Structure 1
Amino acid sequence: MRVSDTRRIEEMLGDLAFPASKQQIVAHARYRQPGSAAERALAALPLGDYDNVEQVLRSVPTEPDPGRSPAERDYQRTHHRKPQLAEHMRDSEEPPVQEELHREPRRRR
């Protein structure tokens, strides 16, 4: 699970005593906000001990460009000409399906 905004995680972990293990962090998140996106993102942390909130935030999987639609993400992942460039930085052409969805419907006579 990826998050686009880490502020909620920072607020959630504000009262947690550090250093803390991944298990302690996830248990604290589950207690504070069960079932939230922040809790699921913290569950994806690598195993280990964390000395402070900043270390946790650096390890949380984040969405690099939250404004992309799922179709854009798929298109950028599969149609690229620059293999060493990060996916979210690749040029984005509108996928053919998106073009179809944005066309005005034809009027029947």
Structure 2
Amino acid sequence: MALTDPQQARTWLDGIDFPADKQQLVAHAEQNDAPQDVVRALRAMPPVEYGSIGEVLSSVTVRDDQSDAEKASQAHHHAHSGLAEQERETPINPIVDELGENRGS
């Protein structure tokens, strides 16, 4: 499940102590009578420990009907991809891409 605005989750997580894991976040939202779309969005997050509300908001999945700028911001600030570092796609350095290798300079 996704939200149109990740800030929707902020209201329902008010007062939670960080760091908190996904289960604690979901339980806190449910105790605050959060709407089901907020609870489902929190359940869909990666099962890691979150250090701040900012990390939570950047990890909440956002619906496709958002603007390109909002999508870019979400992708840029996404802290937990759910992939190990060695499994993430890393952009190629443009100099290495052009020259074909690093020439030690």
Map residues 12-51 of structure 1 onto 2, 5 A cutoff.
12-34=12-34, 36-51=36-51
Counterpart Cα distance in 2 of 1:42 and 1:26: 6
2:8 corresponds to which residue? 8
CA distance in 1, matches of 2:5, 2:53: 14
Extract unaligned runs of 5+ from structure 2.
Answer: 68-105
Task: In structure 1, list runs of 5 or more residues that go unmatched.
Answer: 68-109
Contact 2:6 2:57 survives alignment (8 Å): yes
- 2:50 maps to a residue whose letter is Y
| Per-residue deviation, residues 2-35 of structure 1 (Å, max 9, x unmatched) | 1102222011112100000111001111111255
CA distance in 2, matches of 1:50, 1:7: 16
- Alpha carbons 2:21, 2:47 under 8 Å: kept: yes
CA RMSD of aligned residues (A): 1.7
Shift of 1:39: 0.8
Q: Which amino acid aligns with 1:59?
A: S
The offset of 1:65, in angstroms, is: 1.5
Name the counterpart of 2:61.
61
Taking structure 1 as the reference length, what is the TM-score of the superposition?
A: 0.56
